[in-house]
Amino acid sequence: MNSENLPPHDVEAEKAVLGSLLVDGDAVFKVASSLKPEAFFIPEHLWIYDVCLRLYQRAEAINQITVARELAQQNKLEEVGGAAYLSHLVASVPTSLHIEYYARIVSRLDVMRQLIKAAGEIAAIGYKADADVDDAVIKAEDVLFAVLRKQSPRYFVSLKEVLGQYFEETEPPVREEQRIPHVLTNFAAIDDLLGGLQRSDLIILGARPSSGKTSLALNIARNAAINQKACVAIFSLEMSRQDIARRLLASESGVDCGRLRLGQYTEREERRIMDASGVLADARIFIDDSPQLRMVEMHGKAKRLHFEHPIDLIVVDYIQLIRDESRRDNRVQELSEITRSLKALAREISAPVIALSQLSRAVEQRMSHKPVLSDLRDSGSIEQDADVVIFISRDEMYIREEDWRKNYDIESTPYPRGVADIVIAKHRNGPTGERKLRFISSITKFEDLEVEVSAA
């Protein structure tokens, strides 16, 4: 109930959400990606919900006992009313069945409070008599758009998209026993060493910028989705979904990515593009390009997609852009928590997770530019949590052809143009080693070389 002197809020709805989670911890995936802790008006409710999200992120059980323990560790248990208040929350709802309904109430009232705050800010802008009118209008629009962006509203969609969604929803569901046993990269050089990507494995793919790590990850995603009919989820925190689609289209059609972006291609290339579009349209690849994604939101979105379409592979581009708000003071600890959460997600969904990672500049400062495990940027527990660590190294990025000719016999050791060294630096359940792939940067595509080097 609201007081006339308080902003809009609904204490009972907030209690119903929390009570639902304490009654049925598995219900958290229904609200984790859409309901943020800040949406709760009562501070103590915010703390309790935040604890539930942290437990969920760590793949730990959510119930009255675990929440009380976590609150006690934060010295907040007594402030929220002790274990007795948690018992009261449990008693306030008989079931978690309506948690999404209550969550929508909490979110809606949070929007109303944001609008009230925005109205005050706009009023303050209007009271500045000496302000430029056009500038004031722009600032007022920015205030409103800030509220709008937080709500992730739905905009117009084409009939084609609606029809596609209809046919997708009417397809028979994929049963657990129908999921593929393991994902193949479809690069013989890599699969020979790894035996494919195993379920529940966390695979770290590291490289310096512009080395091709996004391209390799997308190639693997494409191969799995098309060759094995796998369901692939891509979280792209750096590139837009349009950029992802363009790269996939360039790799599939063989048309230069730059010309695709500018729309400059021949009639023959246009036919190839149309053919490639048809192939990719049938692939079960789902893209989330939210630029500022918290780990708990990623977890919730993945669980929701997995509930509708059992996921076979997850790609995350890239680790250093994910945020874990509980560890803002220490970036190494923050990344450690993120990698642990990614590993927990892989185990919970029983699907391999390929997480891209930046490498430190130390790679470029050594005589040998081959990455090593210590090059993982802000590494923390990245190396420890990973089941597999793969590095990409391309000599052509560091050595010009004329310098290469001075140091090597060009006949016996040709310049490595378009050649990428794939280094398996860690393999928890198998051999490590090095392989070579061809990288065609203009179409962002990797291919097997005819001649491979032996494993280490």
Give the pLDDT confidence of 196-208 residue by residue, as tens digits.
Answer: 899 889 999 988 8
User: Can you give the pLDDT at residue 409?
Assistant: 58
- Average pLDDT over all residues of the chain: 82
- Alpha carbon 299 to its chain's center: 9
Domain containing 109: what range? 1-155
pLDDT band at 451 (very low <50, low <70, confident <90, very high): very low
Continuous segment of H or E residues that includes residue 317: strand 313-317
Looking at the structure, do residues 240 and 190 belong to the same domain, yes or no? yes
For residue 408, being part of any structural domain is answered with yes
pLDDT band at 184 (very low <50, low <70, confident <90, very high): very high
Q: How far apart are CA 229 and CA 29, in angstroms?
A: 26
Continuous segment of H or E residues that includes residue 286: strand 285-288
Q: How far apart are CA 253 and CA 264, in angstroms?
A: 14
* Strand, coil or helix: 203: strand
For residue 161, being part of any structural domain is answered with no
The strand order across the sheet containing 313-317 reads: 285-288, 232-236, 313-317, 353-358, 202-207, 388-393, 419-427, 433-440, 445-448
User: Can you give the pLDDT at residue 159?
Assistant: 52
pLDDT in tens, 20-58: 999 999 899 888 888 889 899 999 999 999 999 989 888
Please state the φ and ψ torsions of residue 63, each to the nearest 5 degrees. -155, 180
Looking at the structure, do residues 222 and 304 belong to the same domain, yes or no? yes
pLDDT band at 341 (very low <50, low <70, confident <90, very high): confident
Catalytic residues: 238
Which residue type, as a one-letter code, is found at position 326? S
Q: Which residue intervals of 282-414 are DSSP H helices? A: 295-308, 331-349, 362-365, 382-385, 401-407
* Strand, coil or helix: 113: helix
For residue 453, being part of any structural domain is answered with no
Instruction: Flag the least confident range among 236-240, 260-264, 323-327, 330-334.
Output: 323-327
For residue 212, being part of any structural domain is answered with yes
CA angle 378, 379, 383 (to 5 degrees): 170
CB atoms within 10 A of CB 259: 14
Looking at residue 216, the DSSP 8-state letter turns out to be H
Q: How far apart are CA 323 and CA 154, in angstroms?
A: 24
pLDDT in tens, 386-432: 899 999 888 777 677 666 666 665 666 666 677 888 999 999 888 98
The better pLDDT of the pair 295, 286 is held by 286
Looking at the structure, do residues 92 and 208 belong to the same domain, yes or no? no
**CATH of residue 138:** 1.10.860.10
Tally of domains in the chain: 2
Looking at the structure, do residues 192 and 129 belong to the same domain, yes or no? no
User: Can you give the pLDDT at residue 232?
Assistant: 93
The DSSP bridge partners found for residue 354 are 203, 315
User: Can you give the pLDDT at residue 311?
Assistant: 92
* The pair of three-digit structure tokens given for residue 369, joined into one six-digit string: 């530019």
Over range 326-337, report the average pLDDT. 72
Q: Is the bond into 318 cis (omega within 30 degrees of 0)?
A: yes
For residue 454, being part of any structural domain is answered with no
Q: How far apart are CA 324 and CA 301, in angstroms?
A: 16
pLDDT of 228 > 70? The answer is yes
pLDDT of 107 > 80? The answer is yes
User: Can you give the pLDDT at residue 273?
Assistant: 87
